[in-house]
Amino acid sequence: MPTARGSELLTARSTLLFASAAILSTVLLLLLIVLVIAFQDPLDSSIYTLKNFRLLYLEPFVYHTLLNTAGFTLVSTVTALFFAVPIAWFAERTDLPGRSTIFPLMMASTILPGLFGALGWLFMFHPRIGTINRWLVDALPFFENAPINILSIPGMGFISGLGMSSLAFIMLAATFRAMDPALEESAQVHGLGFVHRFWKVTLPLMWPGILAVAIYISTIGLASFDVPAIIGMANRIFTFSTFVYIHANPEDGPPNFGIVGAASVLMILVALILSWLYVRVIKQSHKYSVVTGKNYRPRIVELGRWWIVGWVFIATKLLLGVVLPLLTLIWASLIPYFQPFSMSALDLVSLENFYRIPWDRFWQAATNTAILTLVVPTLLVLIGLVISWVVIRSGSKYAGLIDTAAFMPHAVPNLIFSVALLVVALFWLPEFIPFYNTIYILIASFVIARISFPTRVYNNALLQIHKELDEAAYVSGLGTLRVLRHVLIPLLRPATVYAWIWMALLSYRELTLAAFLTGRENQTLPTLILGLVSAGQATIAAAVSLLLFIFMIPLVVLYFLFGRRSFQVGDH
């Protein structure tokens, strides 16, 4: 009997281990496909050569694109930290009135799709038709031309960084919350004023956390697509993501996958280096630890009348990142062609743009988006639970390798997986298998690209559940699968609810992955908006964006009702 019992446990563990390995092998296979196409001859796929790399890196336009990507990433990161660091300090280290509302406000702005802000800023600060630019030129005689130009790398980087500043805030808030103020108090005793204490003591202590967030944001900025696509592509300003997009989806001729693969190899290397730096910074952060167990006590800085400055700064971030883009999109959706707001323009207000929405395409895109929003997070919580159980509970000697493979989709720009799946759909699968230009290729892409997230959530949650509970259940006669079902899954319910809702939100708003894989049959709402903008129908795109925003509200409400308390800092 004990032998049979041990055999049952071994079989269940082996099954879960095999399932994890099979799923993650797909991740590694897709990366291998990208490497293969990078070295294949464009005219004969049986020949392997460096021709694609020569064609790519002998083209001056490529270096201009790489420079744009570096500038865009740098500006995005600096902008995100510029807003995130002070707001995190106000929220966690001061007596700012109403500071408990900062976290939900910042979370709400994190959830908004990137294309929402990009489209809003395009209407506000376009050099020719931007509302605020036109107001400034009309009101201030010393401005002959638009003073703010977002059709540039600095402009695009600022918009992207403004959107990512909420994520940076969430990651930094925990760092400020956990810091013991003993060294700050010692500096105060020795006569250092507030500004000197903050600059010479607080920020150096926060440096590992700030640097880690900067690296994390940079990895996202490298492959950011929404802002470069909405603002940059129409104005011939390319970054890595849009460069890959135009070669994978050319207007004329077949996709140039060789060039895409060669460009992707460089980005994979850069992303892996950034991920290695991120892990290295996190591991070295103990050198800066000042939390001292029983003696730890948080110290709140009294702002006095300076609390007004805090709320002005926070309000500025929310105004630029949420309120003004929303108001501008509402205005754009109500007029037949875009123009700055004025009393005379009120005569043009109507719902005509909503009537002009291509409703057949809209409902098809809405249906596809709804399927992705329901199916993708459901698959991911199941996959994440299996992988995390193998990593944390199985005791397998391959657990570390599996965990590393599960982290790869985060370390590598996600659009690369879309390119690899596109190659599989076009060249590897027979035509009778419904994959290319279907909802199934989108589901596969979304799931593979997001595997890292549920595994991080479940890893953290499982580490907090003592193994004695599993062992007691085994002694009572339960098998591995029944222990999962009756013991671990009920205890993991809060993490599961949070992970499901958050991944549903990400699936609902996802543009980057979908843009590379959608046609008329499997379009989503974000790609429909991108298509309308590309076709010069920006006001209709604004109308669809508002509907996208409205349909998103139930998910946001669910998140704040059920998922917010289980938030895991630093995951995305």
DSSP 321-341: IIIHHHHHHHHHHTSSS----
pLDDT of 332? 92
The reply to whether domains 1-48+359-572 and 50-350 share a CATH topology is yes
| Percent over 90 (pLDDT), the chain | 37
At the fourth CATH level, the homologous superfamily of domain 50-350 is: MetI-like (1.10.3720.10)
The DSSP result for 42-86, as a single string, is SS-TT-B-SHHHHHHHT-HHHHHHHHHHHHHHHHHHHHHHHHHHH
pLDDT of 192? 60
pLDDT of 288? 47
Where are the alpha helices (H) located in 334-451, listed in sequence order? Answer: 352-355, 359-392, 399-411, 415-423, 439-449
Which pair of tokens denotes residue 256? 């140039």
pLDDT of 7? 62
Q: Which of 410, 374, 375, 405 is nearest to 388 (CA)?
A: 405
The DSSP result for 106-165, as a single string, is HHHHHHS-HHHHHHHHHHHH-TTT-HHHHHHHHH-TT-SS-S---SSHHHHHHHHHHHHH
What is the number of residues in the chain? 572
- Listed in sequence order, the residues at least 6 apart from 498 whose beta carbon sits closer than 8 Å to its beta carbon are 457, 562, 563, 564, 565, 566, 567, 568
pLDDT of 567? 44
For 486, list phi and psi in degrees, rounded to 5. -95, -20
Query: Contact at 8 Å (CB) between 442 and 422?
Result: no
Ranges of each domain in the chain: 1-48+359-572, 50-350
Q: Which of 266, 480, 256 is nearest to 390 (CA)?
A: 480
Which pair of tokens denotes residue 229? 């696509």
Q: How far is the C-alpha of 139 from the C-alpha of 128, rounded, in Å?
A: 15
Which pair of tokens denotes residue 429? 């699968």
Cα 307 to its chain centre, rounded Å, is: 32
Query: Contact at 8 Å (CB) between 394 and 520?
Result: no
Residue holding tokens 């992988």? 387
Mark the ranges of the chain whose per-residue pLDDT is less than 50: 1-2, 286-294, 566-572
Q: What does the angle CA 113 – CA 116 – CA 117 come to, to the nearest 5 degrees? A: 105
CATH of domain 1-48+359-572: 1.10.3720.10
Digit-coded pLDDT (tens) for 494-510: 889 888 988 998 899 89
pLDDT of 178? 61
